[in-house]
Structure 1
Amino acid sequence: MTKKIVLFILCLLFFKSAIAQKEKDSLSFRIKLKWKTENLELNKNYCSKNDTLQFSLLKFYVSGIEINYDDGSIYKEKNSYHLIDFEDDNSKIFTISKKENKSISKLIFNVGVDSLASVSGALSGDLDLQNGMYWAWQSGYINMKIEGKSNSCKTRKNAFQFHIGGYLKPNYALRKININCNNKNQIDLVMDISKLFEEIDLSETNSIMIPGKEAMKIADLSTKIFTIE
């Protein structure tokens, strides 16, 4: 066997080992959007109390991901901003390099975008202004955008619109979520949107488009809709 062939084989083994180690050190996130036990679908009717509603748009930010391990160590993802878009299946699956292949005790993350990013000017990737999730410098990013229609809405075409955001106190809409977890290499994060709409009377509240008290109420409710599957 020539030296070139030996060198090629060694290089191949090295790259395979590096890829395997990267996979071992990576944590996979899968975001599952649901209505109770059903997978959520666009333009499908769902029943909530005495109401029938459907969704045409759903986007929200997951940011500031922090992994707490059983041994007490913590990993924080850098530049941690992920835009989850109902219509983009690729956005619902992503990985982070978590450094260690050990059991996780707790997942911590934010729903929304922090004040620093909101005033940082033109950004790229999931924070790109072209994603339609930015109002203006005065109001910052839209943390969560939900649109659809309901029989309860006395609006044009029975539409409801919730654009929840704001980074200036007292209307700071970012919310931190803490969830106990027992896993190593994959986290299935479930967002059950039914839990949010069970708390909203769409006949009274059906359009929130600016930061304010009503937006803060929806932001508070968003902390109750996430679980680990």
Structure 2
Amino acid sequence: MKYPLLLSLGLVLLGSCSKNNDDAPAAGKGSVAVKFENYVGSTPLDLYNLGSLDGYSYVNANGDSFGVKLYKYYISNIRLVKSGGGEYAETESYHLIDQAKPESRSFSMGNVPEGSYTAVKILLGVDSARTANGPYTGDLDLLNDMFWTWSSGYIMAKVEGKSPKSTMSDKSLVFHLGGYTGAYSVLREVTLPLTQTLEIKNNGTSTITLKSDILKWFEGDYLIDFSTTSEVMNPGKQAYNISLNYSKMLSVTKVEN
């Protein structure tokens, strides 16, 4: 009677395989510290005080001198691109970067699977689904002065300052870019190659440092002349054009494993 013997052997092998699977270690996870450094070209951004006429220390591609008193922008839907394919997407991925608040310029991404990553994808702005449906908490709180109306949605990015070339009576510059639907949506997804491979180890922490360059707002596809364009405060063609420019404002400057 070989059948009982074969059945017993099969059960033993099945139990052994099950035990081996149960003993397999879970995939490790680490974290990534993300840091943003705001610049004007090669110069670290320095805000001037409201009302000051000093600080026209920057020059755009059109040759217009200017100063900056406010710089804020949303980034969202961050994804790390794995070497060989696949992505890790940050949960609740909405961050308001504010030059006036140093604590806003860095954050941590937890539970990142072990592995090698070669690029990071970022949406500049707040996606339409979250804009329409909420919740409006944390960096998306409506009290952050980054929201227009329910039809226009979030102000995705702001630059405010002054320039002697401005057509405004107080020489101010005001660029509030928004619009998340239709032909003039300012939402821009960018894929940024890393300066070296990001290696995530179990319980380890790696760091990605990114540079944001305000000069990119005013050059590229559309050269901005402050004597003709010194204020943009509504969704539309002007905001859309500048968004094509600022889609190039981010770059990765350093990776630390």
Q: Same fold (TM over 0.5)?
A: yes
1:226 pairs with 2:256: no
Per-residue deviation, 1:73:
2.7
Gaps of 5+ in 2: 1-27, 49-54, 200-205
**TM-score between both structures, scaled by the size of structure 2:** 0.77
- Aligned pairs for 1:130-209 within 5 A: 130-181=143-194, 182=196, 183-184=198-199, 185-198=206-219, 199-209=223-233
Partners of 2:168 and 2:88 in 1: CA distance: 46
Structure 2 counterparts to residues 74-93 of structure 1, below 5 A? 74-93=87-106
- The 1:96–1:122 alpha-carbon spacing in structure 2 relative to 1, beyond 3 Å, is closer
1:104 Cα shift? 1.6
Give 3-state SS (helix, strand or coil) of 2:148's partner.
Answer: strand
Q: Which residue of 1 aligns with 2:85?
A: 72
* Distance of 2:35 and 2:216 partners within structure 1: 20
After TM superposition, give the deviation of residue 100 of structure 1 in Å: 2.4
Work out the CA distance in 2 between the residues paired with 1:58 and 1:176.
Answer: 20
* TM-aligned CA deviation for residue 35 of structure 1: 1.3
1:98 to partner: Cα distance: 4.8
- 2:50 pairs with 1:26: no
Once residues 99 and 158 of structure 1 are traced to their aligned partners in structure 2, the CA distance between those partners, rounded to angstroms, is 47
Matched pairs, number: 208
The answer (yes or no) to whether the contact 2:157–2:178 under 8 Å persists in 1 is yes
Q: Distance in 2 between matches of 1:79 and 1:226?
A: 21
For the 8 Å contact 1:122–1:129, the answer to whether it is kept is: no
Runs of at least 5 residues in structure 1 that lack an aligned partner in the other structure: 1-21
Partners of 1:40 and 1:54 lie apart in 2 by 10
CA distance in 2, matches of 1:99, 1:117: 23
RMSD (CA atoms):
1.7
Kept in 1, the 8 Å contact 2:184–2:237? The answer is: yes
Q: Which has the larger radius of gyration?
A: 2
Contact persistence 1:30–1:94 (CA under 8 A)? yes
Partner of 1:36: 41
TM score, norm. by length of structure 1: 0.86
Write the letter of the residue equivalent to 2:71. L
Question: Residue by residue, what CA displacement relative to the aligned partner does 1:13-69 show, whole Å, maximum 9, x if unpaired?
Answer: xxxxxxxxx9x7111110010112211100232123432100011110010001001
CA contact (8 A) 1:75 1:98 kept: no
Distance in structure 1 (CA, Å) of the matches to 2:79 and 2:252: 15
Contact 1:153–1:160 (CA<8 Å) still a contact in 2? Answer: yes
- Letter aligned with residue 208 of structure 1: V
